[in-house]
Amino acid sequence: MTPPLVFENVPLGRIRRSTIGGPAHLPVDADGAFSLEVQAHSTVVVVGDETSGVNLLGGLVLALDRVPEGRVLVLGTEVAVLDRLAQLAFRRKLGYLPAGDGLLQNLSLRDNIRLPLHFGSDYRPRDIEGRVDVIVAQLRLTRVADRRPAQTNAEDRRRAALGRALAFDPDLVILEEPFDGLTERAAAELLELARGGEVSEGGRRTVFITGQDLPALLRRRVDRQVRIRRGRIEIPA
């Protein structure tokens, strides 16, 4: 069985942005090619410093960025070669929590969670409201759900961003720097929420996390942690 996420010889130093909007990337000090397989129902963390290319991996999975060589297979599909509309449709099969939350500041937390369901499904309004209520309750956001991101704390914002990522109950979740600024307890709780319980095939979600570091409490809870340096996985001495 093909792993849900495969990076094959991806040269992170030659990445190009392929989205409509988005800030430019920091320069990457990378001369190697990145390869990694993420097995189904596992939690894999890739850490590295800012210039290592670690912050590009999430965008590559979602084909928000592209590389001239190598390929990234997501649920058996090379998303980068699809046309724009097909890419958008494919991304709805995944959960994505971007670095810095990416919550829309002019919407409440509840509206932020609601948004992908409105634009990514043909659910009836009543079904959307029901799904949003479940997510809000599950993430313990009921008290602050109607506030805008700037009126809430970092933990609630991160929860809301995770709730938005889980709106379609995806099998594969991509989390970029999800634990920055959180206490270890909050980070551990967030990780458990992302992994979820039983999904359709009877296992937990596959979770792919990138960041500069992983809180000590979480190191025992993930299945694999690798460090990236100069665009390739660092092999411990």
Partner 1 sequence: MLGLLIGVGRGTARWLARVGALARFAFEALGSLPTLPGAGRRVAARVLLNQLRFTALQAVGLIVLLSGVLSYLTISATITQLSRVGASELIGELMVVVIVRELGPLLTALAVVSRSGTAITAELATNTVLGEVRALEGLGIDPYHYLVLPRLFGCVLSVCILIVLFDVIAVFGGFLAAVAFGGMSGARYLGIVLSNLTTQDVVLTVVKGLIFGTVIGVIPSYEGLSVRQGPTEIPQAVIRGTVGSIVVIFLFAALIVAALQ
Q: Does 173 bind partner 1 (CB under 8 A)?
A: no
Q: In this chain, which of 44, 55, 67, 96 binds partner 1, going by CB under 8 A? A: 96
Other CB atoms within a 10 A radius of the CB of residue 205 amount to 23
Q: Does 130 bind partner 1 (CB under 8 A)?
A: no
Within 8 A by CB and 6+ apart from 92, the residues are 116, 120, 121, 168
Q: Does 226 bind partner 1 (CB under 8 A)?
A: no
Q: Does 103 bind partner 1 (CB under 8 A)?
A: yes
H helices of 169-232, in order, are: 184-195, 216-219
Q: In this chain, which of 14, 41, 71, 92 binds partner 1, going by CB under 8 A? A: 92
Helix/strand/coil for 115: helix
Helix/strand/coil for 237: coil
Q: Does 86 bind partner 1 (CB under 8 A)?
A: no
Sign of the CA dihedral with 200 first, then 123, 97, and 190 last: negative
Contact 37, 3 (CB under 8 A): yes
CA dihedral of 132, 137, 138, 139, whole degrees rounded to 10:
90
Q: Does 122 bind partner 1 (CB under 8 A)?
A: yes
Which range of residues in 30-38, 94-102, 130-138, 211-219 is near partner 1 by CB under 8 A? 94-102
Q: Closest CB to partner 1 among 23 and 68?
A: 23
Q: What's the closest the beta carbon of residue 32 comes to partner 1, in angstroms? A: 25
The residue ranges that bind partner 1 (CB under 8 A) are 19-24, 58-59, 62, 64, 84-85, 88-92, 96, 98-105, 115-125, 128, 164-165, 167, 174
